[in-house]
């Protein structure tokens, strides 16, 4: 029996001044090319292997919506050792991007089966910085809403419950699979409108919070 060689974890990547400025100005920035194809394949493999162990998490942002708005159960999530190592290896990149003494909080695969909808929310205080990558499959772009910064979760839930709210609105942000989209997730509201996506797909989220 042969084993694939262990993927090389990302080295602390230099963050360009342009990336720092973009993150500071807009609350998000794409950082492609942080790791090679082998690590991307390793994350995809681990993500698929962990799917049978995925559960609806007990914790995470909770968007309060009307009962008729809920169309499916929550998003199952699971962690994995390769993702955890990648998470820790990117701590320096996270600090360089934000200028803050961030520490890792959690990393998880979030699984979408046949639909990739995410309700409008801000991330919890575990996520002063959220790094998002495509683990496997084809998950649609996140829509970020700078105009809703400062809104409470209750307000975001009201919008989600309002049939007239434009679910196609916001700035669309995709995620690379050999890198991340960095998101100021605890501040910048975001959602994914959702569309039929046959099969199983997964996003990986790596969260960090400020130590002080």
Choice between 6 and 70, CB closer to other proteins: 70
Nearest distance from C-beta of residue 76 to other proteins, angstroms: 8
Choice between 36 and 113, CB closer to other proteins: 113
- Number of neighbouring beta carbons within 10 Å of residue 14: 9
Nearest distance from C-beta of residue 148 to other proteins, angstroms: 15
Enumerate residues 6+ apart whose C-beta is below 8 A from 16.
none
Q: How far is CA 125 from CA 26, 92, 148, 198, 203, in A?
A: 19, 20, 18, 33, 20
Residues near other proteins, by CB under 8 A: 24, 54-67, 69-70, 74-75, 77-79, 84, 91, 98-101, 103-106, 108-110, 118-119, 121, 123-124, 126, 157, 160-161, 205, 207, 209, 211-212
Nearest distance from C-beta of residue 168 to other proteins, angstroms: 19
Element holding 199 (H helix, E strand): strand 196-210
Choice between 8 and 70, CB closer to other proteins: 70
Q: How far is 184 from 127, CA to CA, in rounded Å? A: 8
Choice between 11 and 21, CB closer to other proteins: 21
Nearest distance from C-beta of residue 111 to other proteins, angstroms: 9
Choice between 20 and 32, CB closer to other proteins: 20
DSSP secondary structure string for all residues of 129-197: EEEEEEEES-PPPEEE-GGGTT--HHHHHHHHH-TTS-TT-SEEE---SSSEEEE-TTTS-EEE---EE
Q: How far is 166 from 154, CA to CA, in rounded Å? A: 17
Longest C-alpha distance within the chain, in Å?
57
Nearest distance from C-beta of residue 124 to other proteins, angstroms: 7
């Amino acid at each position: 029996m042969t084993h694939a060689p262990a993927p090389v974890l990302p080295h602390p990547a230099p963050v360009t001044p342009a990336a720092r400025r973009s993150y500071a100005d807009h609350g998000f920035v794409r950082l492609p090319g942080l790791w090679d194809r082998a690590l991307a394949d390793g994350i995809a493999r681990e993500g698929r292997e962990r799917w049978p162990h995925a559960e609806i998490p007990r914790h995470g942002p909770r968007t309060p919506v009307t009962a008729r708005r809920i169309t499916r159960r929550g998003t199952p999530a699971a962690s994995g050792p390769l993702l955890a190592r990648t998470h820790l290896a990117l701590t320096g990149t996270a600090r360089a991007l934000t200028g803050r003494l961030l520490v890792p909080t959690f990393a998880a695969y979030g699984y979408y089966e046949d639909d990739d909808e995410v309700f409008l929310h801000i991330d919890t205080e575990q996520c002063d910085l959220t790094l998002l990558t495509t683990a496997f499959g084809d998950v649609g772009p996140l829509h970020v809403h700078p105009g809703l910064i400062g809104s409470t979760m209750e307000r975001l839930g009201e919008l989600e419950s309002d049939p007239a709210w434009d679910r196609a609105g916001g700035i669309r942000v995709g995620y690379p699979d050999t890198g991340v989209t960095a998101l100021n997730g605890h501040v910048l509201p975001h959602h994914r409108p959702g569309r039929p996506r046959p099969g199983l797909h997964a996003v990986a989220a790596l969260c960090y919070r400020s130590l002080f």
